[in-house]
Every structure is written in structure tokens, then in C-alpha cells.
Amino acid sequence: MEKMIAKRQIKLNPIDVPSRFNAVSKVAISDSTIAARKAKVISNMVRADIDYLFVYADKEHGGNFEYLTGFIPRFEEAALVIHVSGEIYLLLGNENLKLSQYARVGNIGVHVPYFSLPNQPMENSKTLAELLADTGIQQAKKVGVAGWKLFTSTQDDNSQLFDIPNFIVDAIKQSVSPATTVINATALFIGSDIAARVTNNANELAHYEYGANLASNCILNALAAVDMGKTEKQLGSYLADEGQPNTVVMIAATGARFEQANLYPSDKTVQLGDKISLTTGFKGGLSSRTGYAVHHADELPLAERDYLDKVAIPYYTTVVAWLENIRIGMLGKEMYSLVEAVFPKSQYHWSLNPGHLVADEEWLCSPIYRGSEEIISSGMLFQIDIIPSVKGYAGVSAEECIALADQPLRHDLATYYPEVWQRIEHRRHYICHVLNIRLSEEVLPMSNSVGYLRPFLLDKHRALQCVDEV
């Protein structure tokens, strides 16, 4: 690595709470951005020698579809077909067919009742394979199928794993000639440093900043509300806002998790010493916090009173190292090795990627993994997501969202989205001058609570802070 890892001395100190930005306007994705997205996808089709791309969507797995259409099919399935020529078909069920005319890309709408809800009218006169034929699939030499999941198995042929309903895969294979290759093509969208969705322009970053800002407002409001006797449902009420759809299952949990397999906020009340978990996310970013419902360590059980030194401070040291060392041009394996050096997996038992990309989905993909040769690039939007598990202690989390931007991208943000840029600059000032974390110019905090961690949640005044180098 080019930069030395400087472990910072961390203290629990009285500091100001980060500012919240309320009633922020949402920046829309522009027509020029949609055109650029389509061009990126077609360029990747050409590179992969794919002349027909079938993009599947449902409510949970609609990001690649929405990337071009601007909508998801809600309670139905849908598909987007792109020819390398640029011609687009939208295959839609009974209740989404009307959205063809509103889609962000020009298209030919095809009614596919097979994608509709159970027992709705099926008055079509064509099979699914015949409907696919209407989109020109029979002329394809190589068909790409994009669901949502990038398979990276070392045991299987990933090109032949399809994460879409089997009845659709069967219809595709029935529709093509024996000489036509059908492959998983999710990699056109995610999973490499040239995939279409892994980087964002200024318009996209401004669009996603809305959700990251909103998530951090929610988490700061929920943290302020934590008190003995509060129910999980009361805390959860702070984790939804402005009618926006969550990108994750909201977490407002106190005490033991998953009792009776429950995932959702309940009537359980906060008790002194409880472990608390709070998480919410919207398009563009997630905010998460974990800690104890205590004022100070002396209120913890005796065996857990060293939580700060054993768990919270080592974790926070790692978050600081991540923020201070991430840079455009580094390889994913370099960041992975940095986290392993500062926060050894064998001791802290984290198992997932220490950082991943975010967009309309909370987890898009990640260039950060052992041995990764993927280049961390300008325009990437990251979640700082490191999840330790130390036996006998509560977890710890300060998951937040940052973007990386080179000078031209920063210039575009400042020029075309000055209000977004002013919020980013305000957050940078807080992180650099209150938390004393040394950010490079490339690191743009998209959420208000980046780097802000209060491990003792009944103490509303003290948070972890860098003081100097050891």
C-alpha cells in the first residue's frame, strides 16, 4: 500500500452530535443519465459479444430493470429486453402494462399475463416462448440473462447459474436455436470495475445522497430517543420517514434478538444493560448502530465492562483506518488487507466484505475481498460495513455511506448540485474537525453520521473521537 496505516488513539469524549439536514429535495435521475446508462449496458454487451439481453425483475430484485426503466414491477414479475442495436422491449403483467408508456427508455410493451398475480385473467393466445419470439429472441446468437445476483462460485460454471424463475429460463431456451448460447449476464451490471452500475456520475450521486441523508437523520433521531421503557416499536417509528421504501428490513431490537424468530420491532421495552441494534436504509445508503443501553461501563455486567477496549475502540480504529486510507486507484485486496491488519478476522470474527457498494439496493456488490484485483474507482458509492462478533459482548456498528470522487466529479457536483455539495462539505468539516478523522479530498460523506459512534446509548453526549496517533 502507498499509505502507511497509522493507528489512531481513540477516546470516549463529549462531542457535538452531527447536524441533520431535514426536508431535503430529492434529485431526479436525468434523461441524459438514463441515456448514458443505456450506452454503458450496450457497450458491455458488445464487449461480451451478447446481442440479446434479458433483464428480470420483481419487487425484491428489480435494480437492474429499474436502472433503465425508472420503476420496479411492484407485486408482479417483469422483464426488459435489450438488443445490441438499442431496441428495447418491456414484458409486463396485467397491472404493470400501463407503465410501459411512462418508462424512462423508449420501448415496445408486450403483455405477458404469466407475470401477473394468481388467478388473474390469462386470456393470452400465446405461450411464454411465443411471446419471447415477438421480441426477436430467435435471431439471437448469444443471449444474456441478468437477474440480480452475481455468482462467484469456484465450484460451478457461474455462466450457467440463473437466478430467475425456472419457467422463464425454460421459455428462453425453448425459443432459441441449438446453436445459441444462453449465459448469466449479471456481470454487465455489477461485479467488476467496468460493470455499468458500479460507478455513478454527479447526477446519480446527488440522487442517492437523498436516501443516505434520510437514513442518517432517522438513525440520529432514533439514537436520541433511546431510553429505558421505550418499546422497539417506538424506536422503530423513527427509522421510517417521508414515505420512502426501506431497502432493508428495519431493525429496532433491544435485549435478546430473534426471539420466536421475530425480525420486526415488537412491544419489548428497553431495560438497563440491554444490547440495542438500530438499522434503516433507503435508496442510496444505510445507517446502523449497535451498543448498550447504559450511561457508562459500570452499568454493564462485570464480564462486559471492558467492552470499549475489547470491542468498540478496536472497531472504531478500523473504521477510521478505512476512511483515512481508501482512495481512488487502490485495489480491493489492499483495503481487505488493511482491515485484516488493523482488525484481525481471527480475533474479531468478521466474515463478510469490509465494505460494499450501494445503489437502489443496500448491497449491490463489492470490490473488496481477499485477492481482489478490482480497482476502486471514482464514482463508487460505498457502505462502510464491518461486522465483528466477539463472544460475550454486544456487537458494534457505525455503518454509513461515502462516495469517492475525483476532481472533475467533485467539480460537477459542486457546480450542478450546490445544495448537495454544501451538505457534503458540512459533513466533511464535522468529520475532520470534530471527530479528527483525516479524510482525503476524494472521500465524500453522503450521510450525516459517518464516523459518529456512541457505544453507551443512554449517554447522549459522549462519542468516540480520534485524539492523536500512538
Last residue of a domain, one of 191, 206, 240: 191
Asked if residues 185 and 50 have their Cβ atoms less than 8 Å apart, the reply is: yes
Closest CA to 353 of 323, 331, 333, 377: 333
Asked if residues 111 and 92 have their Cβ atoms less than 8 Å apart, the reply is: yes
Residue 363 lies in a domain: yes
Rounded to whole angstroms, the Cα distance separating 335 from 377 reads 13
- 151 and 126 in one domain? yes
Residue 26 lies in a domain: no
Strand 251-254: give its sheet, edge to edge.
251-254, 275-282, 285-292, 397-399
- 410 and 374 in one domain? yes
Per-residue buried b or exposed e for 35-53, using 16+ beta carbons within 10 Å of the residue's own CB:
eebbebbbebbeeeebbbb
Q: C-alpha angle with apex 191: 185 to 193, nearest 5 degrees?
A: 115
- CA distances 412 to 207, 312, 341, 417, 445, Å, are 13, 37, 36, 8, 16
Range of the domain at 150: 31-191
Counted domains in the chain: 2
**What pLDDT score was predicted for residue 5?**
62
- The per-residue pLDDT of the chain, averaged, comes to 96
Q: Is 459 left (phi over 0), alpha (psi -120 to 50) or beta?
A: beta
Residue 20 CB neighbours (<10 A): 16
Asked if residues 223 and 454 have their Cβ atoms less than 8 Å apart, the reply is: yes
Under the banding of pLDDT at 50, 70 and 90, the label for residue 1 is very low
Asked if residues 307 and 297 have their Cβ atoms less than 8 Å apart, the reply is: yes
| Residue 386 grid cell | 464491518
Tell me the CATH number at 90: 3.40.350.10
pLDDT tens digits for range 145-194: 999 999 999 999 999 999 999 999 999 999 999 999 999 999 999 988 88
Under the banding of pLDDT at 50, 70 and 90, the label for residue 469 is low
Mean pLDDT of 373-389: 96
- 320 and 209 in one domain? yes
pLDDT at 37 over 70: yes
Q: What is the CA radius of gyration of the chain?
A: 24
Write out the DSSP string of 250-285: -EEEESSSSGGG--S--S-B--TT-EEEEEEEETTE
| Residue 151 grid cell | 455468482
Last residue of a domain, one of 159, 191, 223: 191
pLDDT at 359 over 90: yes
- 330 and 394 in one domain? yes
pLDDT tens digits for range 286-308: 999 999 999 999 999 999 999 99
Residue 470 CB neighbours (<10 A): 9
**What pLDDT score was predicted for residue 397?**
96
Question: Strand pairing partners for 4?
Answer: none
Asked if residues 347 and 388 have their Cβ atoms less than 8 Å apart, the reply is: no
- 202 and 187 in one domain? no
Residue 455 lies in a domain: yes
Residue 225 lies in a domain: yes
User: Which of helix, strand or coil describes residue 454?
Assistant: coil
pLDDT tens digits for range 243-300: 999 999 999 999 988 988 999 999 999 999 999 999 999 999 999 999 999 999 999 9
- 250 and 158 in one domain? no
- 418 and 328 in one domain? yes
Last residue of a domain, one of 149, 174, 191: 191
**What pLDDT score was predicted for residue 124?**
79
pLDDT tens digits for range 210-235: 999 999 999 999 999 999 999 999 99
- 347 and 311 in one domain? yes
Helix (H) or strand (E) holding 193: none
- 204 and 182 in one domain? no
pLDDT at 205 over 60: yes
Contacts with 273 (C-beta within 8 Å, 6 or more apart), sequence order: 292, 293, 294, 299, 300, 301
Sign of the CA dihedral running 430, 379, 215, 260 = negative
Phi/psi of residue 278, nearest 5 degrees: -135, 130
- 98 and 57 in one domain? yes
Residue 47 lies in a domain: yes
Q: How far is CA 43 from the centre of its chain?
A: 24
Residue 312 lies in a domain: yes
Rounded to whole angstroms, the Cα distance separating 209 from 214 reads 8
- 297 and 208 in one domain? yes
- 153 and 287 in one domain? no
Phi/psi of residue 397, nearest 5 degrees: -155, 135
pTM above the 0.75 mark? yes
Question: Strand pairing partners for 170?
Answer: none
Tell me the CATH number at 278: 3.90.230.10
User: Which of helix, strand or coil describes residue 345?
Assistant: helix
| Residue 352 grid cell | 463478510
**What pLDDT score was predicted for residue 470?**
46
pLDDT tens digits for range 299-344: 999 999 999 999 999 999 999 999 999 999 999 999 999 999 999 9
In the 8-state DSSP scheme, what is residue 83?
E
